[in-house]
Amino acid sequence: MPTGDAVSLLVIVACAVAAPLLCELVRHPRIPSVLVELLLGVLVGPALLGWAQLDPFVEGLSALGLSVLFFVAGYELDLARLRGRPLQRAGASWGLTLLLAAAVGVTLASTGYVRSSLLVGLALTTTALGTLVPMLSDRGLMGTEFGRHLSAAGAIGEFGPVVAVTLLLGSSQPLAEAALLVLFVVIAVAVAAVAARPQPPRLIAILQRHLTTTSQLPVRVLMLLIVAMVAVASVLGLDTLLGAFAAGLIARRALRPDQARELQPRIEAVSFGFFIPVFFVVSGMKFDVTALVDEPTNLLRLALFLVLLLVVRGLPALVVYRGVLSARHRGALGILQSTALPLLVVITEIGVSTGQMQAVTAVALVGAGMCSVLVFPLAGFAVLDRAGPVDP
């Protein structure tokens, strides 16, 4: 490994270690570790101190971390528990979000504020489920009614934009992209059906025996599943995040409850112990903070996008969940589902590389996403705490 790569990796991993320690120093309010990782990435990245560089090795680790993040988001979704009302309401909420985003995007594009109404509109419809899942788990909310509704809203808020990006931004032939997407779904369903079949006793014994040895065979199988589904999506010309998300859903369906319980600590150790923190630190390193400071109007642009995230993604929750959740619970859910970041990075990178988005717009959108990771969870959980106990 070249010296520069080794030094950059050392700094990035040191930031990953420092983030939870810094969070321990600030008990009230509870600051998400993700936010500290992003801020440390900004600090040590090329824009400020320059201690770590965005070389190909670091970029590759970050891309793998993003795939693992989407795998975990898919794995944490128990679709059997989200079926019915949670998914129906989440779909209706995202539908309203899409309408609001289209109106906002067209308005901004018609005034010349942005180049592409489609890109900006899609960016405003995202929800960072992978970012919210650890926070829900830490607070013991995953199994509650509120947690199920937020998980469903986050799933739609990630899956919907990924599909839209694949169909609308992947190529100039949306019908061909749609056919490839259908093919991918067929492959994923077939893999899930095979994986969900009763496992032979001998296979169970082999996996169980190697779970406690240095081979960690079940963990290797899961990593193979992630890479395989990402490869299938890539070969079909689809967004690789779709493959990682599908791998998580397949793994959840394939594992028996006892296997899932035993694998959970190992999955968390691999993902949250290394790959996911690396992604967030590197995302912070990519953030050009000097572009915001050099031009004061860019800060206003960031503030506008932050407000639009809350309005476009959060406002529908107040309407859709009426009669299902109390007013304060609806408010908390709306604020939390407005949290966005990973897909913002993906969409803005596509926009800048294709010339459909100005660099200043990309910086403001990513900055708004970073601020949403800080502001919205703090505000949302504060409103949730004041709303009273959450029904199990």
CA distances from residue 266 to 216, 220, 263, 274 in whole angstroms, order as listed: 9, 11, 5, 12
Whether 172 shows a pLDDT value over 70: the answer reads no
Instruction: Answer whether residue 348 is part of any domain.
Output: yes
The pLDDT of residue 3 is 83
Cα 263 to the center of its chain, rounded Å: 22
The pLDDT of residue 99 is 94
Instruction: Answer whether residue 392 is part of any domain.
Output: no
Instruction: Answer whether residue 62 is part of any domain.
Output: yes
Of 249, 211, 250, 284, the residue nearest 65 (C-alpha): 284
As a whole number, mean pLDDT of residues 354-360 equals: 84
Residue 282: Cβ within 10 Å count: 26
Residues 275 and 68: beta-carbon distance below 8 Å: yes
Full residue range of the structural domain in which residue 7 is found: 3-386
- Of the pLDDT bands very low, low, confident and very high (cuts 50, 70, 90), residue 338 is very high
Residues 76 and 151: beta-carbon distance below 8 Å: yes
Give the number of domains in the chain: 1
Whether 29 shows a pLDDT value over 70: the answer reads no
Whole-prediction pTM: 0.80
Give the pLDDT confidence of 281-295 residue by residue, as tens digits.
998 888 878 877 777
Cα 179 to the center of its chain, rounded Å: 25
The pLDDT of residue 170 is 55
The pLDDT of residue 297 is 84
Q: Find the CATH number of the domain harbouring 49.
A: 1.20.1530.20
Instruction: Answer whether residue 161 is part of any domain.
Output: yes
Lowest-pLDDT range, 46-60, 173-187, 221-235, 365-379?
Answer: 173-187
Q: For the CA atoms of the chain, what is the radius of gyration?
A: 21
CA distances from residue 349 to 31, 180, 366 in whole angstroms, order as listed: 27, 23, 10
The pLDDT of residue 330 is 93
Determine the Cα–Cα distance for residues 257 and 312; give it in Å rounded to an integer.
37
Instruction: Answer whether residue 315 is part of any domain.
Output: yes
The pLDDT of residue 173 is 65
- Of the pLDDT bands very low, low, confident and very high (cuts 50, 70, 90), residue 378 is confident
Give the pLDDT confidence of 132-146 residue by residue, as tens digits.
877 787 777 777 888
Instruction: Answer whether residue 115 is part of any domain.
Output: yes
Give the pLDDT confidence of 202-224 residue by residue, as tens digits.
777 777 777 777 778 888 888 89
**Average pLDDT score over the chain:** 85
Instruction: Answer whether residue 391 is part of any domain.
Output: no
The pLDDT of residue 218 is 84
Instruction: Answer whether residue 48 is part of any domain.
Output: yes
Give the pLDDT confidence of 248-260 residue by residue, as tens digits.
888 888 887 777 7
Cα 221–Cα 224–Cα 225 angle in degrees, nearest 5:
90
Residues 88 and 261: beta-carbon distance below 8 Å: no
